[in-house]
Amino acid sequence: MTTDGPVTAELEAAADRAESRRGLFLALPSYIYLLFLFALPLLIIGVYSFASRSRTGMPKLEGWNLDSITKLFTDDLIRSIFARSLIVAVLTTVFCLLVGYPFAYYIATRSEKMRNILLVFVMIPFWTNFLVRTYAWRVLLGEDGLITALGRFLNLWDSMLFTLPAVYIGLVYGFLPFMVLPLYASIERLDWSLVEAARDLYASGWVAFRKVTLPLTKQGIIAGSILVFIPSLGAYVTPDILGGAKTTLIGNYVVNQFLTARNWPLGSSLSMAIMMVMLVATVFYFRSGAKTL
């Protein structure tokens, strides 16, 4: 054994190299694919943010400038749209959390059989076509929709279609499952003996919840919040179908820049800006101790 030490080391190194080659070889097709159809396009709109706009709206690869980027911070319209989108995304996240937490708590504290059944009924909307689910609210909130009829009957509200409340309803409806599933996972994992210990030490139900349950399910709260916040901030379909001209969000504005106004440099810098906010949110998420999405 003593004499063949170096030989073994060499063999191991060779095995390591072979291992490394195989790993790379397996990843290579998707690696190349994502470099070409993801990294490169991302780089291109990064570069286009500095381009100037030609008469057709296409970026000119000359006359590099910071116009579209400074516009993000100085243009009143863009600033107000950005601010509105941030508020909408934050409030949607808060609403989902307020509705989703007691809901997930209820499911997680049922018997195992009941839990599975209740969960399936959360999974169905989760997997259901987003466009169709948003469209359903257009029907309900419209002039002769059920919710409008109810509001008129109660004398509380009229048709909410094309207003901000309709956008909120649509977003909460669309993204609530993203909040419920991680919350459920963290509450279900909770060690209930800790809550009982707190109760035994004469903590009231509320104090036990605030000091034990809530901190122990922090992971789920953060995961759910990020999963709701990210798509809410970039939302385009929901405000487009349920909102009106006064409820334009940043997602709609970006789409307009590309498909209607044809100002690609501005559209590029706007989409980079949204991307940056997402990256910050995601880094924050992983910092909080999460391993996966």
Site for other proteins in 162-191 (CB under 8 A): 173, 176
Which tokens hold the place of 78? 């863009």
**Which part of the chain contacts other proteins (CB under 8 A), choosing from 4-12, 38-46, 62-70, 74-82?**
38-46
Q: Tell me how many residues contact other proteins (CB under 8 A).
A: 89
Q: Does 210 bind other proteins (CB under 8 A)?
A: no
User: Residue 8, interface with other proteins (CB under 8 A)?
Assistant: no
Q: Look at residues 178, 158, 125 and name the one whose alpha carbon lies nearest to residue 150.
A: 158
Among 15, 131, 194, 280, binds other proteins (CB under 8 A): 131
Residue from 52, 97, 282, 290 that binds other proteins (CB under 8 A)? 282
Residue 83 CA to residue 273 CA, distance in Å, equals: 13
Q: Is 220 in the site for other proteins (CB under 8 A)?
A: no
**Does the protein bind other proteins through residue 106 (CB under 8 A)?**
yes
Smallest separation (angstroms) from other proteins to the CB of 2: 26
Q: Which residues in 221-280 contact other proteins (CB under 8 A)?
A: 230-231, 233-234, 236-237, 240-241, 251, 254-255, 258-259, 264, 267-268, 271-272, 274-275, 278-279
- The single-letter DSSP state of residue 111 is -
SS (H, E, C) 41-74: HHHHHHHHCCCEECCCCCEECCCCCCHHHHHHHH
Q: Is 6 in the site for other proteins (CB under 8 A)?
A: no
What whole-number distance in Å separates Cα of residue 190 and Cα of residue 76?
47
Q: Binding other proteins by CB under 8 A: which of 67, 75, 90, 105? A: 105
Dist CA 198 CA 106 (whole Å): 20
The residue count for the chain: 293
Single residue of 52, 91, 133, 185 touching other proteins by CB under 8 A: 133
Nearer to other proteins, 91 or 272 (CB): 272
Encoded amino acid at 2, one letter: T
Residue from 9, 14, 15, 41 binding other proteins (CB under 8 A): 41
Asked whether position 157 contacts other proteins by CB under 8 A, the answer is: no
Least Å distance between CB 236 and other proteins? 5
Cβ at position 3, least distance to other proteins in Å: 26
Kindly tell me the burial class for residue 179, based on how many C-beta atoms sit within 10 Å of its own C-beta (0-12, 13-18, 19 or more): buried
Choose which of 67, 72, 86, 130 interacts with other proteins (CB under 8 A): 130
Under the criterion CB under 8 A, does residue 195 sit at the interface with other proteins?
A: yes
Kindly tell me which residue out of 44, 66, 77, 83 binds other proteins, with binding defined by CB under 8 A. 44
Write the DSSP symbol of residue 163: S
Q: How far apart are CA 72 and CA 274, in angstroms?
A: 11
- Joined together, the tokens standing for residue 271 give 């989409």
Stretch that binds other proteins, among 1-9, 25-33, 63-71, 151-159 (CB under 8 A): 25-33
Burial of residue 93, with CB atoms counted within 10 A of its CB: 0-12 exposed, 13-18 middle, 19 or more buried: buried
Other residues' Cβ atoms within 10 Å of the Cβ of residue 132: 8
**Given CA atoms 156, 98, 241, 177 in this order, what sign does their dihedral have?**
negative
Cβ 169 vs Cβ 138: under 8 Å = no
Contacts (CB under 8 A) with other proteins, residues 108-127: 109, 118, 120-127
